[in-house]
Amino acid sequence: MRLILLGLGVVGRAFLEQLKIERRDLYESYGINPSIVAVANSKARIYNPEGIDTGSLIRYKEERGTLEGHPDEVDMESAGLVREIDAEVLVDVTPSNLTNGEPSLSYLKAALISGKHVITSNKGPLAWEMPALLEMFRNKGLKLLFSGAVGGGTPFLRFVKKCLSGERILSIRGVINGTSNYILNRMEEGLSFRIALEEARRLGYAEADPSADIDGWDSAAKLVILSNWAMDLGVTMNDVRVKGIRNVEISKELLFKGKTIRLIASADDSDLKVQPEEIDKSDPLAVSDALNAVSFTAEISGRHTLVGKGAGGRETAAALIRDLVELKMYMRGEKPC
C-alpha cells in the first residue's frame, strides 16, 4: 500500500513511528505493507517512488531544522503532489484551519480527482464541507476516513457507528476539547483563568494562540463532525452557536452545591451549540484533567457515554492506524469490525 503523508509535525511523526512499531503485526494480521512514497510539510515536498526511509528523513529534519535541500526534494506544490504521485492513500495530518478548511480542503479534492482514498485527522474540511465530501468520495467508490479528527485515541465515531448501528441517535452532548477542560479543572482548584491558561501552555495543552480551544471553535468543528456522522444532520460550522470560556468563573458556592462548569458541545435535532454549562459533578461529562467525554442518547437504549484521551500525537496516530486497517479491509471487500 503506497501512502502520501502530508504533515510532519507531532502527529505525522507519531504516525510514522507507530507504523514502524506495528509493521510486522499489520502485515501478518491484515496484509498491510505500507510504503511512504511522498512526505510534505509547509516547506518542502519529498518523493521517492521506491519508498522513503522515514527514519533518515526525520533525522535529516532534526539535524537541519527543515526538509529543504533533502536529496529527494521535488519542485511541486502539495496539491500537485497529491494529484500526480502514484499512490493509493493520502494521509493528511496537517494543522486544521477552522476558518475555511484550506489548504487541506484542496488536498482532499486533489485526492478525489486522482482516485485516492483519504485518511485524515484534519478537522477543517470536515467542519465546512463534510456532507458534500462524503457524497463525492462515496460516488467515486473511495473512502474518506477521519476517526483521528475527533477524540484522538478514543473511538467516539467508531462507537456510535458500530455499537449503536440500527438505532436513531436523538442527541449528543460532550466535552470534546482537552485544553478548555484542563483550564476549567484548574479553576475548580482555585486558579484564575489567566494562570490556568498559562499553566496549560507550559504543559503543552494550549497553543501560543489558544483562541480555537478557549473560544469554542475546536469543539464546534468536532460537534459538526459528530452530528453529521451520528445523526446525519448535514450541518457545517455556520450552524453552530458558539460561546467560549474566557469569562467563566467557578465560585466556591457552585462547587459547594455539587456542581461545576464544563464547555459542553451539544446537538439536539438541528440545534447545535457550544457553551459553558453548569452540570452536576457526578455527571459523566464532569471529566478531569484534559480528558474528553461524549454522551450519545439513542432512541431505544438511552444514554451511552465514552470517556478517554483527546488529541495527542500517539493517540491520534492510533486512530490513523485504525483507519488504515479499516481501509485495507474495505479494499479486500471485507466488513470492518
Q: Which residues are catalytic?
A: 222
The x, y and z cell numbers of residue 71, run together, are: 536529496
- Positive or negative torsion for Cα 91, 96, 98, 104: negative
* DSSP 8-state class, residue 95: P
Locus of grid cell 446525519: 232
Find, among 259, 274, 260, the residue nearest to 224 by Cα.
274
User: What's phi and psi for 214, nearest 5 deg?
Assistant: -80, -20
The x, y and z cell numbers of residue 94, run together, are: 496537517
- Residue 4 in 3-state DSSP? strand
The pairing of strands 259-268 and 169-175 is antiparallel
| CB distance 193 to 245 below 8 Å | yes
| CB distance 173 to 147 below 8 Å | no
Edge to edge, what strands does the sheet with 73-74 contain? 73-74, 45-47, 35-40, 2-6, 89-92, 117-120, 144-145
The x, y and z cell numbers of residue 107, run together, are: 488536498
The pairing of strands 35-40 and 45-47 is antiparallel
| CB distance 178 to 155 below 8 Å | no
Residue 284: asked if its preceding bond is cis (omega within 30°), the reply is no
Cα Rg, the chain, nearest whole Å: 20
| CB distance 315 to 292 below 8 Å | no
Rounded to an integer, what is the distance from CA 146 to the centroid of its chain? 7
Query: How wide is the angle at C-alpha 175 spanned by C-alphas 237 and 121, nearest 5°?
Result: 55
